[in-house]
Amino acid sequence: MPLKALQENVVRFFKKGPQSTPALPLLEVSCFGNPEKTLQGELLVHLRQCGWMAIQEMGYQQEPGERRNLDIVVLAKDEVPSRPLCIIELKHYSANQGSTAPLTGGMERDFGLDRPNVPLMQVGVYTVVTNVAARSSPYVDGVYRFLNTYCGKQVGTPTKFATELANWKSKGQWNDPVAIGLTPTQSFTDDQGRLVSGYLEFFVGIRKTGDPASFREWALGKWSGCDGGDAGTPEFRSIWLFGIEHGDSDYEGSELDDTDTTNSIERQSAYNYNRNAFKLLAAVHGYSVEEWPTFAEKYQPFVHGSRGFFKGNIYPYPCLTVADWSAEAQVESGFVEKASYLDWCRHHRLAVVRKWADEHLPELIICTGIGHVNEFARAFTGGLSSTFVRHAYAPSKYLHHQVYDGRLVVVIPHLSGSRWSHEHLQEVGEFIAAQRRLLSKQNG
């Protein structure tokens, strides 16, 4: 297996040391200049000497204007043109600088970046300089820039590197085995005649990855993460109901009928979120909330093939809870942390959702999730939540609303759970209906 052999050669680099001439302790290599770049270069030479076709700092551009370099790319030798076999991303930090958190944080960011759809090997190096005298001469960068900058100020002490990196590893999915180890204690004499002692701890693992580029393409595709319905046109405008993301199922019916592909009222009504949505929409259309079955049967909201209603989410990937981010989600998306995924969506996905609204011109957009008013603002208005008007429909209960580009946008609390009474649904529905009438008069 090429990947297994490649990983073994990388681990050997740390256990046996670089194959440079003259031979240098790996500890000394990690104290030269910029340790991360120096270690990358030495690892590159080592891999080439082991017979791998490896290049450093290969340029990569996934989206226009977003370019970056890949630390090391190992190519398949027997193919023309050469095909990337594996990407190696290396991060370095030291006990003389602080804890392992910046190291694992950097590795997480690497995992979340765009890259070709090939295996990713992540390498983390943590230098521990345990003994070095302070410089007698004034500070200068010098050959041992890292040593001079950090190691005369704080002596590296033994850490819980193995435990902390194992905990970080458990958050993702990896091909076995993953190597976590340390070099023997090493010593060298620097250019000032100081004796320097210490060791390196290392992590080498191949990440299980999906296809981040395809995921991003899907996430920006039209109606990804949406239930559907009739998005409408500028001539026949619809009502949109948008949530945050598909969440934990609150299904309360009998066994789901997988043959029901129309999103029927019967199927939808098995969910509390949808029943509350029907009640709210019934009130918007002049019904009492208790008459929601009559309203739903007449208007068929969100049923495939019906007219006038569309249902979607501003974020595409389904999660059990707002905080949830499963191992499967990490692999499929390429984002280790949900915060990174959401940040990417805010910069890319929300602008796409706004284009949908600009194209189809819904007359009313009801957004569910009062704590996400900023995201809804970016998706459906000029991008500023401060332009919303706050309205209290009951003591300590409120919604936000504004008219933007001829459409009424209302942000209300989430519709799941038991937080909504019939009285409050009726009150909010009638308020929205009044705002629609006012907007209709203004539009003539």
Average confidence score pLDDT of the chain: 87
Q: What's the CA angle centered on 87, arms 82 and 89, to 5 degrees?
A: 150
Strand-pairing partners, residue 367, are: 242, 411
Q: How far from chain centre, in Å, is Cα 126?
A: 26
**336 pLDDT exceeds 90?**
no
Q: What is the pLDDT of residue 254?
A: 46
Classify 194 as helix, strand or coil: coil
Classify 95 as helix, strand or coil: coil
Task: Name the pTM for this structure.
Answer: 0.63
Using an 8 Å Cβ cutoff, are 361 and 443 in contact? no
Q: How far from chain centre, in Å, is Cα 113?
A: 9
pLDDT tens per residue, range 70-79:
999 998 877 6
Strand-pairing partners, residue 117, are: none
* Residues above pLDDT 70, as percent of the chain: 89
pLDDT tens per residue, range 216-265:
889 999 999 999 999 999 999 999 999 999 875 554 544 555 556 788 99
Question: Where do the domains of the chain lie?
Answer: 2-209, 213-442
Distance (Å, whole) CA 308 – CA 300 = 9
Rounded to 5 degrees, φ, ψ at 425 are -65, -40
Q: Any idea what DSSP says for residue 143?
A: T
Q: What is the pLDDT of residue 87?
A: 92
Q: For the domain bounded by 213-442, which CATH number is listed?
A: 3.40.470
Q: How far from chain centre, in Å, is Cα 147?
A: 35
Closest to 314 in 3D by CA, of 267, 379, 403: 379
pLDDT tens per residue, range 180-230:
999 999 999 888 788 888 999 999 999 877 677 788 889 999 999 999 999
Distance (Å, whole) CA 25 – CA 381 = 59
